[in-house]
């Protein structure tokens, strides 16, 4: 037995090494035939001795597991997006902000390519891959470990002198050649070709059968190591280390000691990118020094220490055929351009977004115009200009609608806002069904099984007039609908029942109050604690909440002043939905620091900056990034920039040492 175990372990080790040589280094040291022989031997030993099962065995690269639902995982460290720069000036502005925040003017950068795929977070414990999670909404993503294991450039077992526990972020990409090969096979099989490498890569992560993932020529490029405390002193160093651990870190990153060197890098790659075997959509520039990164921290959306320089999008001319006006769940009207289909950036474009009436006016659009379209970061391209020389003399100017395309109510425009609205909130069919669709969506009440068509059907049959009606649906009402079988009806009823356990903040989001997205809903839920408290809040008390402005405040007040909304909420109460915040969720330790605003600077010995920030918040204090008259304390660690100290003194802000702070809490 001992011998078998030893043989299994040694084969695994050897095969991991060959995988690395082949896929990462591109320098195989063994023939394919010999590799296959060893893999077979290992597979048969594992089969005969299942006690030695290891989820990270090289034999499992071929996939075969089936995942029905990918569990949601909250990221230990949020997966932020990146701020964008589109020209050199914006890069210099970014540098200025950094200099100011750091109180220094010597910063160097790590320049990296911005790989265009799907982002992934890999978690390693003691050198072994334990989990792979998609970015999702940045706060939580899907556990796609089984699928990721099949990608040969993802190391299952690290090499060398690795750190015990860390996350590493990267991009799953599909090289262009691999993409074309896949499409060739599909076309031969009479299947619809995939649209572009990025969407195909990202779609691969959620395939249920991991053998299908294994069959796709996916790769994983890594670019960021993350841990509670900094593991390295510079970004460049961490990339080198990651390379030594066996990760696939492309070699084209470069150190730059000024923005002008950054610009050289950008200029080079803007031209050279067409020769790369994979797609990039820009360059990412990161502050190299990790203590600087820590000092700069994050905004709610992105790190302050990194910026993405986006390459100019491709653009092409096509004909504007017509304009379609859509009404959303809040009554907002969005105009969409129907275009003569054209190829752009690897996909076929048929539609473009037009935002609002002002935008259309500014473009001066006529039907049948030749329009230039461009694909930015968004999936739907936009119209950037019109070729007026190609306009026919009797062309008709685009007219914005005055009445709702659905219920024919006259549209209104709120002072200071760009959008038109259908004010018929309580009776406009599209708004009603769209609100219900939003209510049951995954991030809201997560009631599965009711498709858009079923909802429209139920609405037409007068069974569903508001989301409150979901809770009175019965088996006998649902079963006659043609699409629904016995099992689906029971699933729907169960999902409705289960949704009564969905926490308050998500219920609040589900209500579909204009401008109240997930983040705002959470803020309101934490601050007010219950629907009753929110419903009587005034504009003033709402604005008191962090990050809530007049626009959101007014919208909340309007929502709760509507009699029909009040009625719906009363009904939701009787059905037993969570309309109060579960107190157990409040993990705040004390209120000792309530009302105090901190700025954190420098490096600390007992805690990392993130931990310190969390401590302050858990004790009721607030952390901001720059000193102002509102700051109560400057919490100074080691190596704080001298300019900060001067500024704090000028503003009469008390400076605390790490020790002072720990005593304080």
Of 111-119, 395-403, 456-464, 625-633, the segment contacting ligand AMP by CB under 6 A is: 111-119
Binding of ligand AMP at residue 115 (CB under 6 A)? yes
* CA–CA distance, 54 with 61 (Å, rounded to integer): 12
- 115/124 with CB nearer ligand AMP: 115
Minimum gap (Å) between residue 73 Cβ and ligand AMP? 16
* Exposure on the CB side of residue 444, measured as CA atoms within 13 A: 20
In contact, 117 and 111? CB cutoff 8 Å: no
Task: Name 176's Cβ contacts closer than 8 Å, sequence gap at least 6.
Answer: 197, 277, 278, 279
Binding of Zn ion at residue 428 (CB under 5 A)? yes
Minimum gap (Å) between residue 115 Cβ and ligand AMP? 4
Output phi, psi for 467, to 5 deg.
-65, -20
Helix, strand, coil share (%) of the chain residues, nearest 5: 40, 20, 40
Of 246-254, 344-352, 427-435, 639-647, the segment contacting Zn ion by CB under 5 A is: 427-435
- 407/603 with CB nearer Zn ion: 407
- 80/99 with CB nearer ligand AMP: 80
Among 44, 81, 566, 649, contact with ligand AMP (rule: CB under 6 A): 81
Site for ligand AMP in 351-390 (CB under 6 A): 377
Of 54-62, 108-116, 356-364, 420-428, the segment contacting ligand AMP by CB under 6 A is: 108-116
In contact, 158 and 222? CB cutoff 8 Å: no
Output phi, psi for 546, to 5 deg.
-50, 130
Among 293, 424, 433, 499, contact with Zn ion (rule: CB under 5 A): 424
Binding of ligand AMP at residue 284 (CB under 6 A)? yes
Among 340, 406, 456, 580, contact with Zn ion (rule: CB under 5 A): 406
In contact, 168 and 76? CB cutoff 8 Å: no
Among 58, 61, 70, 112, contact with ligand AMP (rule: CB under 6 A): 112
Minimum gap (Å) between residue 437 Cβ and Zn ion? 16
- 284/615 with CB nearer ligand AMP: 284
Partner from ligand AMP, Zn ion, none contacting 12, C-beta within 5 to 8 A by type: none
Partner from ligand AMP, Zn ion, none contacting 171, C-beta within 5 to 8 A by type: ligand AMP
- 395/407 with CB nearer Zn ion: 407
Minimum gap (Å) between residue 434 Cβ and Zn ion? 11
Kind and range of the H or E run holding 225: strand 219-226
Q: Taken in order 575, 580, 583, 587, is the CA torsion positive or negative? A: positive
Binding of ligand AMP at residue 133 (CB under 6 A)? no
Of 21-29, 135-143, 366-374, 397-405, the segment contacting Zn ion by CB under 5 A is: 397-405
- 82/524 with CB nearer ligand AMP: 82
* CA–CA distance, 562 with 650 (Å, rounded to integer): 50
CA angle 409-412-414, nearest 5°?
155
* CA–CA distance, 323 with 344 (Å, rounded to integer): 20
Minimum gap (Å) between residue 422 Cβ and Zn ion? 3
Partner from Zn ion, ligand AMP, none contacting 112, C-beta within 5 to 8 A by type: ligand AMP
- 154/616 with CB nearer ligand AMP: 154
* CA–CA distance, 38 with 15 (Å, rounded to integer): 8
Q: Which residues pair with 285 in a beta bridge?
A: 111, 307
Question: What HEC string does 464-488 produce?
Answer: CCCHHHHHHCCHHHHCCCCCCCHHH
In contact, 202 and 139? CB cutoff 8 Å: no
Q: Taken in order 474, 479, 480, 483, is the CA torsion positive or negative? A: positive
**Contact map string, positions 202 to 231, toward ligand AMP, x by CB under 6 A:** ---------------------xx-------
Tell me which of 13, 68, 114, 184 is the catalytic residue. 114
Partner from Zn ion, ligand AMP, none contacting 428, C-beta within 5 to 8 A by type: Zn ion
Of 109-117, 159-167, 456-464, 580-588, the segment contacting ligand AMP by CB under 6 A is: 109-117
Catalytic residue check, 114: yes
In contact, 139 and 293? CB cutoff 8 Å: no
Partner from Zn ion, ligand AMP, none contacting 404, C-beta within 5 to 8 A by type: Zn ion
Minimum gap (Å) between residue 425 Cβ and Zn ion? 9
Minimum gap (Å) between residue 411 Cβ and Zn ion? 8
DSSP for 126-171 reads TTEEEEEEE-TTSSEEEB-HHHHTT-TTS-SB--SS--SEEEEEEE
Output phi, psi for 266, to 5 deg.
-60, -45
Minimum gap (Å) between residue 167 Cβ and ligand AMP? 13
Minimum gap (Å) between residue 508 Cβ and Zn ion? 25
Among 16, 114, 514, 609, contact with ligand AMP (rule: CB under 6 A): 114
DSSP for 476-520 reads HHHTTSTT--HHHHHHHHHHHHHGGGS-HHHHHHHTT-TT--HHH
- 60/113 with CB nearer ligand AMP: 113
Count the neighbouring beta carbons within 10 Å of the beta carbon of residue 73.
19
Site for ligand AMP in 587-646 (CB under 6 A): none
In a 3-state reduction of DSSP, which class is residue 43?
helix
Minimum gap (Å) between residue 376 Cβ and ligand AMP? 10
Partner from Zn ion, ligand AMP, none contacting 148, C-beta within 5 to 8 A by type: none
Q: Taken in order 161, 167, 169, 170, is the CA torsion positive or negative? A: positive
* CA–CA distance, 643 with 222 (Å, rounded to integer): 36
First-to-last alpha carbon distance for the chain, in angstroms, is 56
Residue count, binding to ligand AMP (CB under 6 A): 13
Among 8, 73, 82, 327, contact with ligand AMP (rule: CB under 6 A): 82
* CA–CA distance, 79 with 71 (Å, rounded to integer): 17
Among 422, 458, 545, 653, contact with Zn ion (rule: CB under 5 A): 422
Radius of gyration of the chain (CA): 28
Minimum gap (Å) between residue 76 Cβ and ligand AMP? 16
- 514/522 with CB nearer Zn ion: 514
Rounded to whole angstroms, what are the CA distances from 614 to 369, 481, 482, 600, 607? 55, 52, 53, 12, 10
Partner from ligand AMP, Zn ion, none contacting 422, C-beta within 5 to 8 A by type: Zn ion
Output phi, psi for 51, to 5 deg.
-65, -20
Would you tell me which residues interact with ligand AMP (CB under 6 A)?
81-82, 112, 114-115, 119, 135, 171, 223-224, 284, 308, 377
Would you tell me which residues interact with Zn ion (CB under 5 A)?
404, 406-407, 422, 424, 428
Q: Give catalytic residue positions.
A: 114
């Amino acid at each position: 037995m001992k011998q078998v175990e030893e043989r299994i372990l040694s084969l695994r080790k050897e095969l991991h090494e060959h995988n690395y040589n082949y896929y990462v280094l591109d320098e195989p040291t063994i023939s394919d035939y010999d590799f296959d022989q060893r893999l077979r031997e290992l597979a048969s030993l594992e089969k005969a001795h299942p006690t030695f099962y290891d989820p990270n065995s090289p034999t499992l690269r071929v996939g075969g597991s089936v995942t029905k639902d990918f569990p949601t995982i909250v990221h230990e460290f949020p997966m932020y997006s990146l701020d964008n720069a589109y020209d050199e000036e914006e890069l210099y502005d970014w540098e200025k902000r950094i200099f100011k925040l750091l109180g220094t003017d010597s910063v160097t950068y790590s320049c990296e390519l911005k790989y265009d795929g799907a982002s992934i977070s890999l978690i390693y414990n003691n050198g072994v891959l334990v989990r792979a999670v998609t970015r999702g909404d940045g706060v939580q993503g899907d556990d796609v470990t089984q699928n990721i294991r099949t990608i040969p450039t993802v190391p299952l077992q690290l090499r060398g002198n690795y750190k015990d526990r860390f996350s590493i972020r990267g991009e799953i990409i599909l090289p262009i050649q691999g993409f074309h090969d896949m499409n060739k096979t599909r076309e031969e099989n009479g299947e619809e070709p995939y649209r572009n490498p990025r969407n195909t890569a990202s779609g691969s992560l959620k395939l249920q059968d991991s053998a299908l993932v294994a069959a796709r020529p996916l790769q994983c490029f890594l670019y960021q190591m993350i841990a509670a405390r900094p593991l390295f002193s510079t970004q460049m160093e961490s990339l080198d280390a990651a390379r030594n651990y066996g990760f696939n870190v492309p070699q084209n990153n470069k150190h730059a000691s000024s923005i002008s060197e950054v610009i050289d890098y950008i200029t080079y790659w803007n031209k050279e990118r067409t020769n790369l075997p994979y797609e990039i959509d820009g360059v990412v520039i990161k502050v190299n020094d990790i203590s600087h990164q820590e000092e700069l921290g994050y905004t709610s959306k992105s790190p302050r220490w990194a910026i993405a320089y986006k390459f100019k999008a491709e653009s092409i001319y096509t004909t504007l055929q017509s304009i379609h006006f859509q009404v959303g769940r809040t009554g907002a009207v969005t105009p969409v351009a129907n275009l003569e289909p054209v190829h752009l950036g690897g996909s076929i474009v048929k539609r473009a977004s037009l935002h609002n009436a002002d935008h259309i006016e500014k473009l001066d659009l006529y039907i049948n115009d030749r329009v230039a379209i461009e694909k930015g970061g968004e999936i739907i391209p936009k119209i950037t200009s019109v070729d007026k020389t190609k306009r026919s003399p009797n062309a008709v100017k685009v007219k914005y609608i005055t009445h709702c395309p659905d219920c024919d109510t006259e549209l209104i425009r709120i002072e200071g806002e760009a959008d038109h609205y259908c004010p018929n909130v309580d009776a406009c069919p599209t708004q009603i069904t769209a609100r219900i669709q939003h209510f049951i969506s995954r991030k809201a009440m997560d009631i599965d099984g009711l498709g858009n068509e079923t909802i429209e059907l139920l609405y037409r049959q007068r069974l569903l007039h508001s989301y409150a009606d979901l809770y009175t649906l019965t088996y006998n009402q649902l079963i006659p609908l043609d699409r629904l079988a016995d099992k689906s009806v029971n699933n729907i009823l169960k999902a409705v029942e289960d949704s009564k356990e969905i926490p308050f903040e998500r219920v609040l989001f589900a209500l579909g109050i204009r401008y109240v997205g997930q983040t705002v809903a959470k803020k309101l839920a934490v601050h007010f604690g219950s629907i009753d408290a929110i419903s009587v809040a005034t504009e003033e008390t709402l604005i008191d909440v962090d990050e809530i402005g007049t626009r959101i405040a007014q919208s909340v007040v309007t929502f709760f002043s509507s009699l029909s909304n009040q009625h719906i909420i009363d009904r939701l109460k009787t059905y037993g939905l969570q309309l109060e915040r579960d107190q157990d969720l409040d993990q705040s330790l004390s209120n000792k620091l309530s009302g105090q605003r901190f700025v954190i600077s420098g490096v600390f010995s007992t805690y990392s900056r993130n931990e310190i920030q969390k401590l302050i918040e858990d004790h009721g204090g607030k952390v901001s990034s720059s000193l102002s008259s509102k700051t109560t304390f400057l919490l100074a660690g080691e190596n704080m920039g001298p300019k900060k100290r001067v500024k704090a003194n000028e503003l009469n802000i008390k400076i605390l040492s790490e020790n002072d702070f720990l005593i304080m809490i």
